[in-house]
Amino acid sequence: MKNRILAGLLAALLMVVCILAIPAPAASAQEAATEETAAEPETTETPEPTLPPVSTEKPTVPEISDPLPDVDIHSWEFTLCNSYNSRGWITCQRGNLEGIGIDERIQEAAATLMADARAAGYSIYVARAYLNTEWLENMYLTTLWVCNYDPVLTARSFQGPGVSEHQTGLAIDFTDTIGHAANYEYQFEDPEIFDSELYAWLMEHCADYGFIFRYPAEKAPWYGVSCPHAHFRYVGVEAAKFMVEHDLCLEEFISLYDPDAVYVPDNGRLA
C-alpha cells in the first residue's frame, strides 16, 4: 500500500515537474523564429499518476428474479462497513485464528476453510484479520503524512478507523506466503496474489464456508475504493452462495432487502 502511494505521489510530482518545465510562449516573432532553429528538446513520456480507482457514478440496485435467501440483513453477518458507511467504534467478539484476532463467531468457518485449502495442497496464511481502532488511527495518520495531508487522496488510499472492515473482525486478508503473513506492511498487498493458485481456489470455494471476496474493482461505485488484496469477508453460507451465483457485492445484496440501508453519495464519488 505504502509503495503504491509513494509511486502515485512520485508520478504526480513528475507531472508537476514536467508542467513547470514547459517553456512559456514566445513573446515576439523574432523569439519564435529563434526557438524554431533551436535544437529539438528530448521528449519523454509523462507518467500517468497511479491514483487508486474511484467510482464515477451512482450505482443502481440490480433486479433479481430469484427469491432472496431468508436472512435478517440486520444480523451481525451483514454489518456494513466501507468508505461511505462508517461504523464508528466497533467492538469485535475476540476469537483467535492462528494467533491473529478475529470475531469468534467466524473462527470455526475460517479454520475449516484454511484446513481444507491445505488438504487440497495450497499454502494459506492469515495476513491480516481484526484490526483495532488505535492501529487504524496510527496507520491513517501515517497515510495522511505520505499523502502530504491531502484528505481525499488519503481516503482513496486507505480505509481507516470507522470505515475499515477489519474493525469488525469479520474480514480476513489471506496470503499464500508465510513471509507475507509475518510482515503485513511488506508484500502481501502485492496484486500478484490475484494470479496465485490460492486466490483461484478461494474464489471458487470461499462461499462454501460463508465468505465472499470484498470490494471487487468492477463494483467500486458501491463503496468508492476497490480492494488491492485478497480480502475475504464472512456473510454466512446461504448469503455467500447467493451473492456469488448472482454476482452481487454485499452492498447490492443488502440493497435488495432495504435500499436505504446502504449509503452511496449522489455523485458516486468518495470526495
Residues 215 and 231 sit within 8 Å (Cβ to Cβ): yes
Q: Which stretch binds Zn ion (CB under 5 A): 6-14, 60-68, 72-80, 223-231?
A: 223-231
User: Residue 148 burial by CB count (10 A; 0-12/13-18/19+): exposed, middle or buried?
Assistant: exposed
**Residues 174/127, Cβ–Cβ less than 8 Å:** yes
CA atoms within 13 A on the CB side of 245: 13
Least distance (Å) between residue 232 CB and Zn ion: 8
**Smallest gap from residue 172 Cβ to Zn ion (A):** 8
Q: Which of residues 153-192 bind Zn ion (CB under 5 A)?
A: 173
Determine the residue with CB nearest Zn ion.
Answer: 231
Specify the stretch interacting with Zn ion by CB under 5 A; choose among 20-28, 109-117, 150-158, 231-239: 231-239
Instruction: Report residue 27 as a C-alpha cell.
Output: 513573446
Closest CB 194 distance from Zn ion, rounded Å = 14
Beta-bridge partner residues of 128: 173
Cα separation, 12 vs 51, whole angstroms: 9
Nine cell digits for residue 22 = 514547459
CB of 166 to Zn ion, least distance (A): 6
In angstroms, rounded to a whole number, what is the distance separating the alpha carbons of residues 192 and 170?
24
Beta carbon nearer to Zn ion, 35 or 192: 192
What SS3 class is residue 17?
helix
**With binding defined as CB under 5 A, does residue 233 bind Zn ion?**
no
Of the candidate spans 108-116, 117-125, 227-235, 263-271, the one that interacts with Zn ion by CB under 5 A turns out to be 227-235
Q: Is 231 in the site for Zn ion (CB under 5 A)?
A: yes
Nearer to Zn ion, 12 or 80 (CB): 80
Q: Which is nearer to Zn ion, 180 or 231 (CB)?
A: 231
Residues that bind Zn ion (CB under 5 A): 173, 231
